[in-house]
Amino acid sequence: MAWTYLLVAGLLEVLWAFAMKKSAGFTVLGPTILTFVAMIASFALLSIAMRSLPLGTAYAVWTGIGAAGAFLAGAAFMGEALTPMRVVAALLILSGIVLMKFSGGE
Q: Which residues contact 75 (CB under 8 A, 6 or more apart)?
A: 81, 82
Q: Which residues contact 26 (CB under 8 A, 6 or more apart)?
A: 20, 32, 35
Cα angle, residue 92 at apex, residues 87 and 98 outer, rounded to 5°: 125
Displacement of CA 51 from its chain's centroid (Å): 19
User: Following DSSP, what letter does each residue of 38-58 receive, concatenated?
Assistant: HHHHHHHHHHHHTTTS-HHHH
pTM of the model: 0.87
Lowest mean pLDDT among 33-37, 45-49, 54-58: 54-58
What does the pLDDT look like over 69-105, one tens digit per residue?
999 999 999 999 999 999 999 999 889 888 887 886 5
Dist. CA 18–CA 11, nearest whole Å: 11
Dist. CA 37–CA 50, nearest whole Å: 20
